[in-house]
Each structure stands twice: as structure tokens, then as C-alpha cells.
Structure 1
Amino acid sequence: MKSEKKIKKKHCNNFATGFINITSRGYAFVNIEEFQKDIFIPKNKINRALEGDLVKIRLNKKKGIKIEGEVLKIIKRKTKKFIGILKMNLQSNSKYGSVIVYNNSIHVDIFIPIDDEKLKKYHHNDKVLVQIISWPKELKNPLGKIIKIFGPSGEYKTEIFSLLEEYGIHYEFSKELENEAKKISSRKISDTEIRRDLRNINTFTIDPLNAKDFDDALSVRKLNDETWEIGVHISDVSHYIKEGSLLDKEAYSRATSIYFIEYVIPMLPKILSNDLCSLQPKEEKLCFSYIFNMNSQGKILKSWLGKTIIRSDRRFTYEEVQQIIDKKKGDFHEEIHTLFLFSKILTKKRLKNGSIYLEKVDIKFHLDEKNNPISLHLEKNNDAHRLIEEFMLLTNQKISEFVSLNLNGNSSNRLFIYRVHDKPDFQKIFFLKEIIEPLGYFLDFKNLKNSINYLLKKIKGKQEQNMIENLILRAMSKAKYSTKNIGHYGLSFFYYTHFTSPIRRYSDIIAHRLLHYYLNHNSENTEKLKTMEFYEKQSQHCSYKERLAIDAERDFLKYIQVKYIKKFLGKEFYGIITGFTDWSVYIELLLFQTEGMVRLCDIKEDYYILNSNNYSIVGKKKRKVYHLGDKVKVKLIDVNMEKKQIILDWIDNQNIIEKNTRVK
């Protein structure tokens, strides 16, 4: 405490630098290393700083030990470019339009000088990219210029391309890259003689209905009454994409394909991703394959890894395969049913070893010809999905084991790229435990994985299922790529990689190249691997790009959800309380599985305040308590397309006949 006072005394009336954080109410805080607490900056002392700027401040001692500061100078802007909505008051004689930025990256509107020429290009409510060019002292707002127009706010293409700009995602391939892809596509296959020929074995793909890039295929044939030969065939993308080429550099830069609703940004040009590398039926395709013999108990008797050439006989959708499983008839029904039975054995074995069995429901939208959402359905994984999932998990595991272990089972110390997943953070697990206990559920810290699986089984079909599943996901660490193997906690695999989707993930191309090196490494092969630092840097890059893609996909899904739900304004729905803040309640609408918000001050049945544990609110007069997971009735009263917010009104839940149910 004394040293803190000394530091404060030393800095009073002195200068310091730090990054500024501006609140929605206009005042700010600056983080300075020497201080445990951020320095408070009043509204009138921000001096044209913007969120995240590096600023120079003067420290001023106030009453007691409270320290305030004022911004003297902006050392470096975090950014000068912003995406917002252009507003133009055409009835007034104003020389300016204004751009409103909704994502909290700037606390003031940006004025845009408008002349007659620009009036022809700009439209009210256009979404634009604007750059700040100056901020005269006599103006309360910065001046900017529009450098890109995305189109009318709220439209499908406008939202996609503005989102790509915001996340810095490339979505076009240069002519040079397209030409390189065409050259590769026109070359004849030249190494068939060194590949295992599997063209005459029953082979098929199973993918979503609208899929165009088929990474993987399965082959299956009966060897005798007890043994089946199963092949998992993965597109040999690394055969075509040579390390260090222009296409390789572009694929590495993107690192992953991005899937929006009805729109894909591929990692590779479509002539490769949808044609040459895609395992289309009735076409000869190059693969990297894992082939193994499995007995009726699901035990692998022997296996082989290597380059192959295949010809898929049939392209199945998940729905078609599910029908074959259910009805036990249709094309390849014996092979598909056999794979289904084996997948059940693999699932059972995985769960016995401690794998966490978390099955999330996907929200699927149907769009009309103008790309407006017209219907939604919640899609659960079926047996067909699980069939493919189990064989891909098995392949990724076995590839990793092959590289990492010698024949005697000892570590090979070979360099490889792993998919790793750390143990969950204890504080997050404790938070989860605190939330679920009032709902009648429990967690055993000593046997956490089995306890989580038991919890997932207990909540199945319950109103609070989605909320608790989301809480479990948040409690888990994020999976990532690394050359330093720590195992995969969620799957309970000590060796695991990503190998099965090289058309859409660069990490899998890295795994293919390393595996190819180890399969061909002998005394005559003088090729050398790059350093561990090189592959670790690539791993970190792939992890970063994956998180970016997930965030962008989630942002776009939220836009579609808000646009769809807008048509239900004024309607009443049931929802589950999923979160509280000092001023609001977050509620997941059960019908849509999307979250809306009610302000505490708008609840008319009582005056509610947040309990100290942050897990419940209590009425001041009637003392009624609402917990996380409680079912309530709300009315949809407004949506904010730009903030992607759903605004709800609280129906008088005191009078709802249906009581919130607790598990006993």
C-alpha cells in the first residue's frame, strides 16, 4: 500500500502513457503499468482520443487518494478506419452527413463533408467504410471520407462483405492465383504406378446436401465372416499444392474455409476445392488413405497408410444414409449398416475412455431468392453424422499415433502438428457448478469427465439443456494446434491431429506433408524438415485464423437470426434466463435458440436488483427470486439490426400458471 502511494505521489502532476478504454457513457480509463487501478479520465478531458488509442496523459491528484487524468496527446491511433451506417438529412442545409459506428470501437459519430457530386454516390442508410482524415479543435466530431460502400444496411451481401472487411478476410483470388490453379487442374495424373489402386473397391462419400468440397470417402469390403477391410480416403491436396508456391502461400494466409449461410469463402480456388481435389463420384481421384482390417468386436487387426487412387461409386447425403440405416435397404445398405455398427462400438469405447459426449444442435435457415430468411429448423446429429464422425476421429488419432510412436510403443520424438485441448479452467468449472446446483444438478470434481457426461444425459430434452451445454462449452479450454503435444482432454486421446479435411484446413495440409515425409524418409532421401519453430509458428497461425473464422461465422449467424426474428415483433414467447448484468436480463428464446435482452428497469411486476452472486435477481417488494435456468414469458418488442440485439418485454411472470420446474 505504501509503495502504491509513493508511485502515485511520484506521478502526480507528471506524465504517463497508456491505452485508453472509453465507456459507452463517455468517460474513460487509461491502463498504466505502475498502477494497480486504471486512471479515470472525465468526459471533458478525453481530448479527441478514441477507443484503444495509445495516449499521453497528465495525472492530477484529487480528493483523498483518487487519481484522475487528462489526455494531452494521441501518440498512436488504434485505427483510423471504421465501418458504420451513413445518415444524411437531405431536408436540412447541413454540409455534413454522419457515419454511426455501432460496435463500440468509437464513441462519437464521424462527420462526412457532402457536396453535390457525392450526393449522387451516397445513399441514406448505406453501410460504408470510413477513414478519419482530421479532427479540428472547433468540432466535437472527427471528419472522415468514405472509402468503400457496401450497400444498403441489413441486406445479405452488404452484411457479408462488410463483415469480411471488419475481420480482414480475403474473399477473392487474384488472376495469377486462378491461372496457377487452372494449370494444376489441367495436368495429367503422373504417379499412378506408385499409388495403391483402389478403384474397384466399393467407395462412397457422405456429406451435407449442399456440400461441394468432398474431403473424405469410405470404402468397405467383407474379407470373411469375421473381418472387414475399411478404408478412410482423404483428398491428397498436398500432391497439388506445393510448399512455397503462390497457391500455398495464399492457402496458408487464409488457413481455413469460412462457411456463412448459403455462401462459402474457400481456402483454395473453386476449380481445386470443388473439382480437382473434391472426391466426386465416378471420377478418378488421388488420396492419402488409412486402411485397416476390423473384426466383429471392432478391434483393428492390422492397418496400412499411404497414397492411393480411388473412384467413388456414389455420393450420399446424411439424410439418405440415415434412411438406409433406419430401413436397412438401399444402395450399399450392407456396407453402410456394417459401418454404422462399427461406429457404435467406437463411440462406446471412446466414452468408456473418458471422452466428453457433447452434441450441439445446429440452427439451420432456409433463405428465399433474395437471401432473406424464411424458415428455421434445429438440426441434431443423427446416426449418419455420428458414423462419419467416428471414422474421422479414429483416422486422426491413428495418424497421430503412427507418427508419434515407434513399433515398440515408445515415443519416436518426431516433429508433428497436433490438435491439442487443455484441461478446463477450475474457476470456470466452479462457476458452472454454482449455476447448475440451484437447478438440481451436481458435478463431481474428482471424476469430472464422467460427471459432465452424466449431466449431459440428465439435461437431454429439458428446457435448460441448451443453456447448460453452452456453459459447459465456455468452461472448456479452446482446442488449438501445436507441435507440443499435451493430448486432447475432451476426446481423451493422448495423440490426435487434424488430417481429414485438407481442402478446407491448412493444418491438415501440414499433417499430410509431415506424414508423407516420414513414410518416405530413408537413407537415400536427403530432404530435410524445417525447424520446430517454423511448424509451431504455422500452428499458432492456423489456431488464430480458426478463431477468427468462428467469430465471423457466429456474427453472421446472429445477423440472420435477428433478421428472421424481426417478423415476429409483438408476439409472446417462452424463454430461459441465461444471464444477468446490473441492468439487464438475458433470455434465450426456446423456439429460436437465440438470446434477447430485457432491461431490469422495464420489469413492471416489481423492482428487481442483481443478487451479490450474480446468478439471480430478487424483487424489492415481493422478494420473488429468478435464477439462471428459470422459464419466463416475454414479448418481442424490437430488434437492432446493427447491434444484432433482440429487445424483449417482460410479461408479468407472477401470474404464469406454469411454474418453473426444478429437477428433484
Structure 2
Amino acid sequence: MNPTHLHQIAVEAMRSRGLLPAFSPHALQEAEAARHTAPERSADIRDLRHLTWFSIDNDDTRDLDQSSVAEPLADGTARLLVAVADVDWLVQQGGAVDDHAAANTTSVYTAAGIFPMLPEVLSTDLTSLHEGQERLAVVVDMLVAADGTVAESDIYRALVLNRAKLTYDAVSAWLDGEAAPPPQIASVTGLEEQVRLHDVLAGKLRQWRQSRGALNVNTIAARPVFKNGQLTDLRPDEKNRAKDLIADLMIATNGATARFLVDQGFPSIRRFLQSPRRWDRIVALAAGHGVALPALPDALALDRFLTARRSADPSGFADLSLAVVKLLGSGEYAAAPARAKGAVSNGDEAGHFGLAINDYAHSTAPNRRFPDLVTQRLLKAALAREAPPYSAEQLADIAKHCTLQEDNASKVERQVLKAAGAYLLHGRIGDVFDAIVTGAAPKGTFVRINSPLLEGRVVRAFEGLDVGDTLRVRLVAVDAEKSFIDFEPA
């Protein structure tokens, strides 16, 4: 299967799910016109270009949403600044580009390529925090205490300059002592100290969240591999130390953002994950390892079990993590109404079970997630002492639509991945694979195999299977056009 054919499958999948695979001519013209927008300068925009900002992302990432810098202080505390690209500056609310972003609500990452939420002239150029480029940003300025709590935080606008675009794999290998440092470490003064301080701060932030029940899981995703224009494999794209580092910083940033909007008396869009509906199955999985979990959902107890299993069975931990994540379910968006300044929470806000956080608003990826762009507009309005740019009713509608479209985008990504996988497996009918059950519902029972890394459906003899069960399956049929990969127990 060549990339063009796979791309067409992705386009049709997006259309069938209510997603727009292409930008309108008006949106493209509007985005191109942004090249001629004069740089914004005002007294409330701080000049922080002198700081040692840097970013860490995938090797091929061009839509850089954030960079950061830190400063060690006394008694184990530190100041952490996270700069988020000011996308709102060039994406006018209610314009053609904004309308496309509001319709799709997310970039869609398929095995056939990326369908960006914003035209690439913006997301991978004008609003991307590229190395060596001056950019406007919204800065979340946090004081991280020695115990990993965010003791204080502030938000303001600034002009920043990314000194180095580092990559996850290179930074992780270096921090783990498995490879030489990235070349920028030697060429950018103070960068080594910055990365190592970030690593320490991320560890403190993570330990604090885990003390409250944040789940310690290790999931993997499939990465398509092309050779000479042809799809040749689907390989695991695993977590590593640098990915965890950035994730911990972004979680802290999103929490500080939510609390800032509360303090300003502003409404917001929150990200939440309710207590798992299938806690009974998680209890059963733990019992299979000789561990008794409480009858009611308990994040601390679950994390203790996961941490113990990571140590006892490192090779099997990814499969256990996958089963737990599937049973936890997907996160959602919800509108949080404004509270009067100084008002105490009534405790009924939706929290995030997996992260052990009550105040959490996506804010760090406005180039590729619409809720983050909406949050950025709320932040800038609060900083300018203006009225919120969205009503409570509008935010509720946006949150509902973003949840729906995120689910549709995930389904498109899975469908295209299965089409790619069906192509790779078309000559392997009758082969047997090790598998783990990832879904068991009236609509079907699904399993994931590891080589290539993909999911398929068990079409017979699936009675009694449940999420987390392991078995061997035989491939019985594939159809790349219909994205079918069918197995039976072997």
C-alpha cells in the first residue's frame, strides 16, 4: 500500500466521522495573510528573549507549542516558566481558520499523515516556537517547592526565543547515560544545567502527584514505518524519560492555568476523567496477581499495585498498563462556571482520576487542540481585564463538541491504522500471534498483537474473554479497504 492510497482511506474516514480533511480556500487565504501581520508590541508584553528557553519534542515535530526555562532558588525550590505559543494572536476568533479549528477541534494523527487543526503556514511556521525565532507567548510562571507542590503561580504575556529544539529520544538516552549529549548541549551556554534542572523538577512534580494517587502507567502507541514510499511496519513508539519530563511540566502548567482562571472569576473548559465504571474488572486483574484492591475506586491503592507490578514484571507491564487504561476509559471536556473571586470551591468540580488533579484545563497545545486555544483566549481576556470572550453556554457547547470530535478523531486514527495493518498482514492468513484483549462489549471483542503493533476483532469463540486477558490468536481474514483485521482464538 502506498502513502497516496492510505491517505485517501484517511480522507474518507474523516468525512464519514464528520471531520474536515481539508481547509477551505478562505481559510488558507486568511492563514497566508497572517504573514503580513505586524508584530504585536505593548507594555504588558515582557521581553524574555534573553533567557535560555528550550523545547523537547519528537524528531519530526514542526508545530512546537511550548518551551520552558527554570531557575534554582534556595531550599530546594525553583522557578519554572513554561511559554505557550500565542496562537490567538494570528487566529481571529470567528474567522475562517477558527471556524475550521472549531469544527475539527484537534489535529488528526493517522498512519497516512497528519491532518492539522490549523493551516501549516500557522501551526508549523508563524505560531510555532521554532529554534532561533522570536515568538509571542503566554507564560505560566510557577514556583515549585521542594516537595513538588506548585506553591505560587502567575501568568503573563511575553516575547520569547527558543534557543534549542531538542528531541525526546536524544535527551532521554543522554539522561539515562546511554548516549552522548545532543549537540546543542555544548553549543548553547547553560543548556545542560537547564535540562538537568528540568529533569529534577519533573521528578518532584511527579512524586507529589503520585503521593495523591496519580497512576504510574506505561502505554505504547504504533508508529508507521515507510521505506521507499511503501509502508513496511508498525513499530511501538514507547514512553521514555524525556517524554515523562515534558508531560509532568505540562500537567503542572495546566493545573496552574485552571487555578488562575478561577482566581480571576472566569469560566473555563476543564479536562476530567471520572472514576472508572469497570473498577470491578480492575479489581479482578489485581486479584489475578494476588493483590486485593478496595471495592470502591481508589487511585492510591491502584497506583501502589501498578508500581509493584512494574518492578516485579517489567516486560509485562505495558500489557497491564494497556488493560488498565482501557478500563479507565477516555477523558472528557466540561465547562466550569465562573466563581466569585475568593469563593471557596464547593467540591463538585469534575476531577481527573488518572492524574489525581481537581483543577485541570488543557492549555499547552493551542496549535493542535481547540480547547487550548479557547483557554488561551480566556487567559488573555483576563490579563487585559476584559469580559470573557465566551459565555458559559458557549463553553458548555464547545466542551461537548470537543469531546465528540476527539472521539471521532481517535476512531479515524484507529481505522487508518487498521487499514495499514491489514495491508501488512495480507500474506499472513493462518499465522498465530500473542495477544491481549483490549475491548469486550456488545459491539465486539478486540485484541492487540505486538508485531506489527495493531488491534483486530475476535470474530468467533470470544465468549468469556474480557479486557486484560491474554491469549494466542490466529489471523483469519484482512481487508485493507474496510479496515478489517479478524482473529480467532488459536
Q: Equivalents in 1 of 2:445, 2:398: separation in Å?
A: 42
Q: Which residue of 2 aligns with 1:373?
A: 231
Which residue, 628, 646, 653 being the options, matches 2:485?
646
Distance 1:325 1:537 in 2: 44
| 1:548 matches 2:408 | yes
Q: Secondary structure at the match of 1:357?
A: coil
Q: Is the 8 A contact 1:167 1:552 kept in 2?
A: yes
User: 1:399-548 maps to which residues of 2 (within 5 A)?
Assistant: 399-405=257-263, 414-425=266-277, 428-434=278-284, 437-438=287-288, 440-446=290-296, 448-460=298-310, 461=313, 465=317, 468-484=320-336, 485-521=349-385, 527=387, 529-548=389-408
Which of 612, 629, 653 lines up with 2:469 in the alignment?
629
Deviation at residue 529 of structure 1 after TM alignment: 4.9
The RMSD of aligned alpha carbons is: 3.2
Change in 2 beyond 3 A, CA 1:162/1:249 = closer
How do residues 98-109 of structure 1 correspond to structure 2 at under 5 angstroms?
none
Paired position in structure 2 for 1:364: 223
| Residues 1:321 and 2:171 are matched in the alignment | yes
Change in CA separation of 1:595 and 1:245 when aligned onto 2, cut-off 3 Å: closer
- Is the CA contact (8 Å cut-off) linking 2:79 and 2:142 kept in structure 1? yes
Greater Cα offset, 357-366 or 429-438:
429-438
- 1:333 corresponds to which of 188, 192, 197: 192
In the TM superposition, residue 629 of structure 1 has moved relative to its aligned partner by 2.8
Q: 1:530 to 1:361 in 2, by over 3 A?
A: closer
Question: Residue 234 of structure 2 contacts residue 454 of structure 2 at CA under 8 Å; is this kept in 1?
Answer: no
Contact 1:357-1:453 at 8 Å conserved across structures: yes
Q: Deviations over 1:315-371 (max 9, x none)?
A: 11111211331348551222101110111111110000111223211122211233x
Deviation at 1:188, TM superposition (A): 2.0
> Aligned in 2, Cα 1:453/1:174: closer, same or farther, shift over 3 Å?
same
**CA distance 1:256–1:153, change in 2 (3 Å):** closer
**Contact residue 420 and residue 480 of structure 2 kept, 8 A:** no
What residue identity is the alignment partner of 1:495? D
**Structure 1 residues 489, 152: CA separation in 2 closer, same or farther (over 3 Å shift)?**
closer
Percent identical among aligned pairs is 22
Q: What SS class does the counterpart of residue 88 from structure 2 fall into?
A: helix
The alignment status of 1:343 with 2:202, answered yes or no, reads: yes
Comparing 503-512 with 171-180, which one deviates more in the overlay? 171-180
Q: Equivalent residue of 2:81, what SS?
A: strand
Structure 2 Cα separation of the partners of residues 650 and 547 of structure 1: 29
Normalized against structure 1, the TM-score is what? 0.64
Task: Determine whether 1:392 maps to 2:242.
Answer: no
Per-residue deviation, 1:187: 1.6
Alignment of 1:7-26 (within 5 A): none
Q: How big is the shift at 1:297?
A: 5.0
Question: Would the aligned equivalents of 1:192 and 1:309 in 2 still touch at CA under 8 Å?
Answer: no
Instruction: Tell me how far apart the structure 2 counterparts of residues 184 and 153 of structure 1 sit (CA, whole Å).
Output: 31
SS of equivalent to 1:313: strand
Q: Distance in 1 between matches of 2:76 and 2:328?
A: 40
Q: Which amino acid aligns with 1:338?
A: L
Q: Which AA in structure 2 matches 1:349?
A: W
Q: Is the 8 A contact 1:160 1:556 kept in 2?
A: yes
The structure showing larger relative contact order (alpha-carbon pairs under 8 Å, at least 6 residues apart) is 2
Read off the aligned partner of 2:233 and give its amino acid letter.
S
Q: How many residues align?
A: 466
Question: Pairwise mapping of residues 5-404 of structure 1 onto structure 2 (< 5 A)?
Answer: 155-222=5-72, 228-261=78-111, 263-294=113-144, 297-298=147-148, 300=150, 302-327=152-177, 329-330=181-182, 331=185, 332-370=191-229, 372-404=230-262
Write the letter of the residue equivalent to 2:333. Answer: Y
| Aligned partner of residue 426 in structure 2, secondary structure | helix
Instruction: Give the match's secondary structure for 1:340.
Output: helix
Residues 566-577 of structure 1 aligned to structure 2 (within 5 Å):
566-576=426-436
- Could you tell me which runs of 5 or more consecutive residues in structure 1 were left unpaired when the two chains were aligned: 1-150, 406-411, 602-608, 617-626, 652-664
CA contact (8 A) 1:482 1:539 kept: yes
What's the secondary structure of 1:377's corresponding residue?
Answer: strand
Structure 1 equivalent of residue 345 of structure 2: none
Q: What is the one-letter code of the residue matched to 2:106?
A: T
Q: Give 1:429 shift.
A: 1.6
Q: CA deviation at 1:506?
A: 1.1
* 1:214–1:279 Cα contact (<8 Å) kept: yes
* Deviation by residue 1:413-457 (Cα, 9 ceiling, x = unmatched): 5322211222222xx222443465456454322562123223323
Distance (whole Å) between structure 1 residues aligned to residue 330 and residue 437 of structure 2: 25
SS in 2 for 1:268: coil
Could you tell me how far apart the structure 2 residues matched to 1:157 and 1:473 are?
29
CA distance in 1, matches of 2:173, 2:377: 38
Q: Could you say what secondary structure the match of 2:235 adopts?
A: strand
Where 2:176 maps in the other structure, the secondary structure is helix
Separation in 2 of the partners of 1:630 and 1:530? 48
- Of residues 167-176 and 319-328 in structure 1, the stretch that sits farther from structure 2 once superposed is 319-328
Q: Deviations over 1:127-173 (max 9, x none)?
A: xxxxxxxxxxxxxxxxxxxxxxxx99993133122212222321222
Deviation at 1:638, TM superposition (A): 3.7
Relative distance call for 1:591 and 1:454 in structure 2 (3 A) is farther
Amino acid at match of 1:345: K
Question: One-letter code of the match for 1:424?
Answer: P
User: Hey, what's the Cα distance between the residues in 1 that align with 2:304 and 2:146?
Assistant: 29
Where does structure 2 lack aligned partners over 5 or more consecutive residues?
186-190, 337-348
Distance 1:153 1:293 in 2: 47
Which protein has the bigger helix share?
A: 2
Distance 1:478 1:580 in 2: 15
Q: Quote the Cα distance in structure 1 between the aligned partners of 2:375 and 2:404.
A: 17
Taking a change above 3 Å as real, the CA distance of residues 541 and 452 of structure 1, as seen in their structure-2 partners, is same
